[in-house]
Structure 1
Amino acid sequence: MGETTVNRSEGREAATPSPPSPIKNGAGVRARLRAPRRPRIWFEILLIGLSYWTYSLIRNAVPEQKAEALKNADWVWQTEKSLGLAFEEAVNHAVNSVTWLVVSMNYYYATLHFIVTIGVLVWLYRRQPGRYAASRTVLFATTGVALVGYYLYPLAPPRLMNGQNFVDTVLMHQTWGSMASGNLKHMSNQYAAMPSMHIGWSLWCGLMIFFLASAPWKKILGLLYPALTLVVIVATANHFWLDAVGGMVCLAFGFAVSYLWYGALPQRLPKQVESRRVQSSGPPPPSEADRDTAPERVRSGT
């Protein structure tokens, strides 16, 4: 009388690992590059500082083609008149008649353009790290394509037009801080009004706050900021409203670039950066179901 033992594993097949596909590996590299990462403060400060320095250098290096810029300004002004929407001069004179208001708008134009934009970047960095890189990409792409506009289409602001009655509010009220007029005007290209990055950046700030802030009052303030900026750039005779349209087009381009790279708009990405665990190159550990289903031992005897 003997006893034999047979080991049997039901419903399981030997799995032979297949070599990794080059295509899948390439897709994995792209996925890792696109995946949101926790931003590093030193890198972001360096990147933003270097980018703004490059932007200012290129923008101010664009030839100040005065004759062409004035000609383009005349065309824009006549186009707005043909549309029945040439309201810049009326707004400029109305605001200039109220000293405290126009001086406030001059300081608004000179300072908030930078302060609010940096503030939103810091807020995204601290509160929305998973969306920070995609949002920053929108801003950078918007600014980059604006440089192309400055080069291809030099445009004088309304305050520098010939034969018109626009008031240069900075010169008239001797407002400090603006590089568009006064003693600082030679440090900045005066004929780079199209597109308006005051609108491009302020609308970026407003949309980021509107889509990502939780409190309703913050969302409302986010939308009011670019609307007020539009009033300011027109009232101070620094831009036509069509320049604002150019800024919006540049921002749309920035969102498109970010969407193509990250596969989603910033507000659709996770708010926080998910921690990724490093897995070994060996086979994956058995699942709980596999551990519970051990090979059966069948005994048969004669």
Structure 2
Amino acid sequence: MASISNITHPIDKPEWNSKPAWKLPGWAEPLIVASILFGAMYFTRRRNYSILGRRKTLYNSTLDDPDSARSSDELLPTYDPENEDDPQDPVDASKGLPKSRRCCGTTVYTPNTSRFKDHFHSRIFQKFPFLIEMFYWIINYAFYRMTSIASQHIFSETGIWDVAKGHGIAVLEFEQVSWLSFLFPIRERSVQQWFMHGHQDALTFLNRTYALIHIPGTVGFIAWYYYIAPSHPTFATVRRTMTLTNFLAFVTFIFYPCMPPRLLPKEYGFLDSVRHDDAQSVWQSGKYVNTLAAMPSMHFGYAFCIGSTLLYHSTLFRRNLERNEVRKNKFWKMFFVVVGFGYPALILTTIVATANHYWLDAMVATCFVVLAFFCNKVFFVFIPLEDWFLWIIRAEKPIPSTGERFRELGGRL
């Protein structure tokens, strides 16, 4: 390994001419996210379904074929293997017999929750199916909050700050002096210095982008895609991919704490412009936030997943459309392609220019997304646990309303 002097720089106090950006009130970000979630819950609600009604008839969508299986509570004879909500035999269901699930190559029998479909909270779920998606992401956020506690416990004897600093320096050495350094021709410090000299207003904009887009942007994407996706299986694939990417990243956060460039000692030449602009997000501050979780970059992981989904949604790169899907006109094709490439590019520029991540962080995040996409069905093993949880709370899982309202409006952009 080369000498440390190869990646350090003379300590020189950087000149910063821009004024700190206006700080968003602490209550604003939670309000934005809550507005997105409850807005999505409202716009994807089931319009011809009454919470207070007591009819025993099953819900029937006017948008699907009569033999289209959507959820176990519909008890229809055709099973769509791509829809994780629906492995239920109609005869067994009608008799209240246990559900038969395939898990790890074996058959598992779980309680039949269809008897609870008329319970009040079940009817709320049926009216607002997006509540289930909100629940999934609350679990994700809770697991993220636990990574800091777990990592600090594991490295309590050695000192997590020193360990994370060592990992951050190791990343820089790998990028700049290893035999794979050709993969990283532009150094992170060079990118930040370019913005520091003559483009500080742009860096202030990127600081604000880093703070405000990650959580609201990702939540907004999930809400938008639930509303517009051509089918629930397609939406569920994206959701499972992002969730598995989360868990792969969370494990890395715990066992490989990594200090972001902006927190390294000054001799490495990075400026903590985020703190200068007071641009830290409320979601990324506080007691349980893991500030030593640079590897991988979930900012870029989410952006890459979102960008890939937008490219798929453009229909420009595939010949066959899904059922109920309408091919976009030229304007919308190009719109989704431009945003599909542009959004990840913006986030990559942001995380490097603000010294929040290394190039390698984005590269690892990309690999995690690809791995998660091909392995996302691993979450099917949790379906039996979901059945038991629903049995405990005496509720039936709702039929997804993914894309229904959009298709009611003609399915055209």
State the TM-score, normalizing by the size of structure 2. Answer: 0.52
Equivalent in 340, 359, 364 of residue 241 of structure 1: 359
Deviations 1:241-280 (A, max 9, x none): 0011111111112101226779xxxxxxxx979xxxxxxx
- Match in the other structure for 1:295: none
What letter corresponds to residue 41 of structure 1 in structure 2? Answer: F
- With 171-180 and 107-116 compared, the bigger mean Cα shift is at 171-180
Q: Give the match's secondary structure for 2:202.
A: helix
CA 1:70/1:148 → structure 2, altered by over 3 Å: closer, same or farther?
same
Q: Give the match's secondary structure for 1:254.
A: helix
- Match in the other structure for 2:248: 145
The structural deviation recorded for 1:179 is 6.2
Answer yes or no: is 1:35 the counterpart of 2:117. Answer: no
CA 1:178/1:244 → structure 2, altered by over 3 Å: closer, same or farther?
farther
- Match in the other structure for 1:171: 275
Task: Write out the 4+ residue segments of structure 1 that deviate beyond 6 Å after TM superposition.
Answer: none
CA 1:142/1:221 → structure 2, altered by over 3 Å: closer, same or farther?
same
Q: Give the match's secondary structure for 2:212.
A: helix
Deviations 1:191-215 (A, max 9, x none): 1110110111010110111111342
Q: Give the match's secondary structure for 1:62.
A: helix
Q: Structure 2: which 5+ residue stretches go unaligned?
A: 1-76, 87-127, 315-327, 381-401, 405-413
- Match in the other structure for 2:190: 90
Answer yes or no: is 1:154 the counterpart of 2:257. Answer: yes
Q: Is the contact between residue 106 and residue 178 of structure 1 (CA under 8 Å) also seen in structure 2?
A: no
- Looking at structure 1, the residues matched to 379 and 286 of structure 2 have their Cα atoms a distance apart, in angstroms, of 38
- Match in the other structure for 1:51: 140
- Match in the other structure for 2:339: 221
Pairwise CA RMSD = 2.7
What letter corresponds to residue 133 of structure 2 in structure 1? Answer: E
Deviations 1:80-138 (A, max 9, x none): 11215351011112213433211111111011111221122112211113311111000
CA 1:174/1:124 → structure 2, altered by over 3 Å: closer, same or farther?
closer
Q: Is the contact between residue 109 and residue 178 of structure 1 (CA under 8 Å) also seen in structure 2?
A: no
Deviations 1:188-242 (A, max 9, x none): 2221110110111010110111111342222211111111111110000001000
Q: Is the contact between residue 193 and residue 243 of structure 1 (CA under 8 Å) also seen in structure 2?
A: yes
What letter corresponds to residue 203 of structure 1 in structure 2? Answer: F
Equivalent in 68, 71, 75 of residue 170 of structure 2: 75
Q: Is the contact between residue 199 and residue 244 of structure 1 (CA under 8 Å) also seen in structure 2?
A: yes
- Match in the other structure for 1:188: 289
State the TM-score, normalizing by the size of structure 1. Answer: 0.69
Q: Structure 1: which 5+ residue stretches go unaligned?
A: 1-28, 263-270, 274-302
- Looking at structure 2, the residues matched to 43 and 235 of structure 1 have their Cα atoms a distance apart, in angstroms, of 37
The structural deviation recorded for 1:43 is 1.2
CA 1:179/1:93 → structure 2, altered by over 3 Å: closer, same or farther?
farther
- Match in the other structure for 1:254: 372
